[in-house]
Structure 1
């Protein structure tokens, strides 16, 4: 049977998107190829029509998820630094991001698995992270502030996800938002 032009590319993108959601929720290495393919509604045999290995899928997930994050940061509608920061903190440090990892940033869910992966995956991730860092550096006016903000954002989500009590989760999110806003404002006032 012949497929329409572009079908294979579209199906691959669909498999990456569905696998990404599942990996962010359940872990990449803890989820087998069969489970990824079942979630996508295809047979396990069709996996190899799109990916050469599970590592190949992981690389595609990292690239796709990184691109998704960068697009979101580019779509921040604010030009001035203070509003840009407020927008990003409110968007990222949200209860929905904590409770729905499948719809959020991949770093709180998959950074540890990336760290345990082979060199090729870690280098790919590093290069993708540097792209995001460049955007944060541009908006914050500092490479150092960009690393600090990016790292704290991921860490806050990771800690909040480890807490059972919703009120405490909210307190963690809000206190970090407040502290980060104050810290970045004081740094800017001194520049």
Structure 2
């Protein structure tokens, strides 16, 4: 059977997208190659036509998820018309983001797992982390200058990731909402103090 030009790349992209969602939703180790390939209508054997190993797929999926999160938040920031930092914080610590880990920030979904991945995978995660910090830097008020901008952006991102992760971890919905609310207040206060 002959496929159209670009079919292999389209199939590869479909696998990466499915993996990116499943890894963020279920965790990397919980997702097997067989079930993942079943999700996209392919066999396990077909996996090795596209990737040398599961870790190769993890690395690509992490990079894609990170780029997608930066792009999505960047669009919300661009549409904010003025209060870009507030828009970023409110979007990141929203109920919608909390309730859709499969479509959200890879740092909040997988950062604890990244610590145990090979250095190449952690490098892909690091690139995404750096891009998110730079997006946050771009939203900070002009009065915050020099190295302080990057340092503050790193602290803000850590606060956002921690708040979102904790809001997903607790069993009490009211407590989860409270964590998001307090996380937003804390992130805004960081910049006011900065």
CA RMSD of aligned residues (A): 1.6
Within 1, Cα distance between the matches of 2:20 and 2:62?
9
Q: Kindly indicate whether the alpha-carbon contact (under 8 Å) linking 2:114 and 2:121 is maintained by their aligned counterparts in 1.
A: yes
Query: CA-to-partner distance for each residue in 1:81-120, whole Å, 9 max, x for gaps?
Result: xx11111111111122222211211112211111101112
Within 2, Cα distance between the matches of 1:95 and 1:167?
12
TM-score, structure 2 as length reference? 0.88
Mapping of residues 37-116 of structure 1, within 5 Å: 37-75=37-75, 76=77, 77-78=79-80, 80=82, 83-116=83-116
Within 2, Cα distance between the matches of 1:102 and 1:8?
24
TM-score, structure 1 as length reference? 0.90
Within 2, Cα distance between the matches of 1:28 and 1:156?
21
Within 1, Cα distance between the matches of 2:128 and 2:89?
21
Higher mean displacement: 131-140 or 168-177 = 131-140
Structure 1 residue 79: deviation in Å?
5.8
Within 2, Cα distance between the matches of 1:72 and 1:96?
13
Runs of 5+ unmatched residues, structure 1: none
Structure 1 residue 52: deviation in Å?
1.0
**1:155 matched to which residue of 2?**
162
Within 2, Cα distance between the matches of 1:138 and 1:90?
16
Runs of 5+ unmatched residues, structure 2: none
Mapping of residues 24-39 of structure 1, within 5 Å: 24-39=24-39
**2:18 matched to which residue of 1?**
18
Q: How many residue pairs were aligned?
A: 185
Aligned residue for 1:29, secondary structure, equals coil
Aligned residue for 1:49, secondary structure, equals coil
